[in-house]
Chains A and B, each alone.
Chain A
Amino acid sequence: MSTREEFLAPIRAAGRPEVPEPELPPLRTGRGAALVERFVAAAEASGAHVHRGAPPDLAGDVGVSRALYGLADTGSVVLAAAPDEPRARSLLPWTHVALLRIEDILPGLAELFAELGPELPSALAIVTGPSRSADIEQRLAVGVHGPGEVHVVLET
């Protein structure tokens, strides 16, 4: 017997109680201006700076990457690792700029995963605002590991 079989044997032997199928919340189809406004409000609430059209004039330690999608519920940008999108670009610099086309804004997580399907990139990062920690005396600190400053540029 392989290790895998030995590992799974006691679980198999325990039987399978019937559990009713969960009803997942339906996917939302909303697009358009209202979704964009919801995204902007949530992104700003998470501590990101949102720019419409023109990218901000930033100097110094800056990384720019393209977001695959944006999520209106949480103001997150979705970054996928790819040959022209290395992970370090959104991770090592103090300032990160994510370029996001407004037509790529989706309502939320469920809609994101439905769009992506079962084949995922080697690394998918859903990023919501700057790196933060409340580990020291429960007070909010930014830029502990990842970027301390996050900009989202909305492109029409």
Chain B
Amino acid sequence: MSDITYHLISADSHVVEPPDVFAGRAPAGLADRLPKLGTVDGGSAWLVEGVEPVPLEPSVATGSGWRRGPSPVTWDDVLPGLYDPAERIVAQDSDSVDAEILYPSSGLWDAVKQSDDAEVKLACATAYNDWLAEHCAYDRERLFGIAKIPTTSVDDAVRELQRAVGELGLRGAILDAFPSGSRVGGNADDDPFWEAVNDLKVPVTFHYGVGVDAPSSPPPGIAPGLKPPMADAMLPMVAAGVFDRYPDVKVVFAHADAGWALHWMEFFDINYVRQKHLAQYTLPDDDAVPSDYLRKYAWFTVHQDRTAVRNRHIHGPVHLMWGSHFPYEDSNWPDDRQQAIRLTDELAPDDRRMLLADNVGRLYGLPGYDKGFTDDEVSTFPSLVHF
């Protein structure tokens, strides 16, 4: 029985992989083919063979783009809390955060998935998961890791998912690209992967983009809130009946907020209803619409998104989870609590607790959150189309 009471859990935080994350955890013969942290133009950058160097994000030195730090940034500038678990706990305390769901960094893995070297890609994924499990073992009440799923084959993906969850105790999985290599979700070749997910009952994340060429985080700088590249990943899965066959699959749309998804869902519903004559896809229930699935089976991390908070009844209030985005440009470390409270300042205390702790706790079965969600809770949302 857990003694910890969670007030604020970040559903979307990141690590920065240390330079030795792969070396020593991969087969000896691969040593000189593994990605290395080198120096490019005065700053540290990951060097993946055959791919452009990936400099470290500037905000890894300050934890937030609201404060300017050194540029370019070297490994020595990186906040220790991003790679050292004891320092991570200190960083959480500074931030008034009780726990974090930990995702890999973005640029490194965007490069790795572009590599032609399948052995290296697989070795990197398993090495990372080993490192992450060690990292999170430091504090099993505050550090929760999301496993990297190899993009090399469906078999590799299934095997590593089972190992990462069953043996290493990681809490979820991130898909950089569909394991079959398909551009779109719902490809029948991916079914064994979804079957494994269905058995293990861990949430699977699309993090901003999914696909070999898709970026996994938004570019820094000035930009409006647009639909992320991963927006269209789920509808083909719905159309292919993935959620009908594997109803315990849950998808997390991470690092892209949820305000963009409101209009997107209504648009799909309207088109589905109006264009039924084209019968592009059918749903088992004649009265069903795509947003029934897009809402029931999807969770969204939200950060700067008052639009989604204001409209939370549309997604269904259990489906939104606050995330700090630490240490990305739009993070507010060490004042993420301030940001979270401002974001939810119009909510009643119970509603606020859901968004800031309980929803993510229940989704991942964190200590003290044993019961998960009832079918009613995940399916409670209004109709979007009324004709």
Partners in one complex: no
Interface residues of B (CB under 8 A from A): none
